[in-house]
Amino acid sequence: MTIAYGAETLDAVLFDLDDVLVPVDTPRAWQWAWKPQGPLLGDRRVRAAVRRALRAWDRRRWLGLTGKAPPADLAALRDHIANTLTVLAGHPLPDVETEAVVRRVLRPAGEVEKFPDVAPALARLAAAGVRVGVATPYPAESARWMLRRSGLAPELLVRHGDDPGPALPDRAAFRDAVARLGSEPKRTGYVGDLFWSDVRAAARAGLHAVLLDRHDAWPKVQSGRVATLEALEAAFARGDVPEGGDPDEDAESGHDGPDGTGRG
C-alpha cells in the first residue's frame, strides 16, 4: 500500500530521529541536561541558541558531505552538542561540566517529553500500509533509548551512527537505510529537520524529502516545509521540493551551501 507523492507513490517513509520523532533540543530537554536544579532557562534564550547551533551543525555536516571537511562522525556529533551548550551558556564551560551535559543529552533520563503529532502520524502511515524506519547519526544505544522513552518501538531504527561504512548524510548511508526498509529511493519519503544535510542530502540520494521545521530555523524555505507532522501527507501529496540552491552545483562551485537562510 502507498501514499501519494505528486503523480507518484511512496511505499516507505524514513524519519530522522532528533527533533523529528523525539524532542532533543527543546527548552525542557536542555533544562534537564544542563540545569536540572535551576535556575530556569528562558524559552526564548534556548530557542535562539538552538536555531543558531542547528544552522552551524547543518553547515558542518554539509561541508563533510561535499568534501570540504572530514565527514561528520560521532565525535563531530558530540562537538555539536557541546557547541549548542556553549551558545546557550554564552561562553565555554569547563570540560568536565560540558562532558556531563553531552552524556545527558545522549541518554536523557529526565521527565519524558513527547511530540503530540508523532504517534498519530505513525499510526496513519501504518494504516496506509507504508513502511516506516528511523535513520540517525546518533549512536545505536542512544537512539534506541530515546525511541523507547518516547513510547516508540526501538525496532524502527534502521540506520545509526555505529553502523559501518559511510555515515549519514552520505548517499550510501541513505540508500542502505532505504534497502533495510525493503524499498528503493524513488519510492521512499524522508522527513528531516536540517535543510541541507538532511533534506537536500536525502534528495541527492534519490529520496523525496520534506523539511520538518519545528524550531522555525529555516523561514526562507517556502515549499516542502512543514511545522508539524499533521501536514506530512499533504506535503508529500503536493510533491513539493524544498527550495534552495542545487547541492551538486554548490559543492562544485565553491559555495558553502548552507548560510542560515535555506539558500546557497
Cell numbers given for 40: 530556569
* Res 243: pLDDT: 73
**Domain extents in the chain:** 3-22+113-253, 27-106
pLDDT in tens, the chain (264 residues): 899 999 999 999 999 999 999 999 999 999 999 999 999 999 999 999 999 999 999 999 999 999 999 999 999 999 999 999 999 999 999 999 999 999 999 999 878 999 999 999 999 999 999 999 999 999 999 999 999 999 999 999 999 999 999 999 999 999 999 999 999 999 999 999 999 999 999 999 999 999 999 999 999 998 999 999 999 999 999 998 887 534 443 333 333 455 443 333
- Spell out the alpha helix ranges (H) of the chain: 27-34, 43-65, 74-89, 95-106, 118-127, 140-149, 171-180, 201-204, 232-238, 247-253
Compute CA distances 142 → 148, 174, 219, whole Å: 10, 20, 30
- Report the pLDDT value the prediction gives residue 105, as an integer from 0 to 100: 96
pLDDT of residue 180: 97
Cα pseudo-dihedral 163, 183, 211, 70, rounded to 10? 30
Confidence (pLDDT) at 237? 97
CB 216 within 8 Å of CB 227: yes
**Fold annotation for 3-22+113-253:** Rossmann fold (3.40.50)
| Cis previous bond, 169, omega within 30 | yes
User: Which residue is associated with the grid cell 526562507?
Assistant: 220
Sheet holding 225-226, edge to edge: 157-159, 131-135, 12-15, 188-192, 208-212, 225-226
Please tell me the predicted confidence (pLDDT) of residue 1: 82
> pLDDT value at position 260?
41
- Tell me the C-alpha to C-alpha distance, in Å, between residue 164 and each of 99, 159, 173: 25, 10, 9
C-alpha cell at 134: 528511523
Q: Is the pTM of this model over 0.75?
A: yes
In the prediction, which pLDDT does 240 show? 85
The continuous run of DSSP H or E covering 91 comes out as none
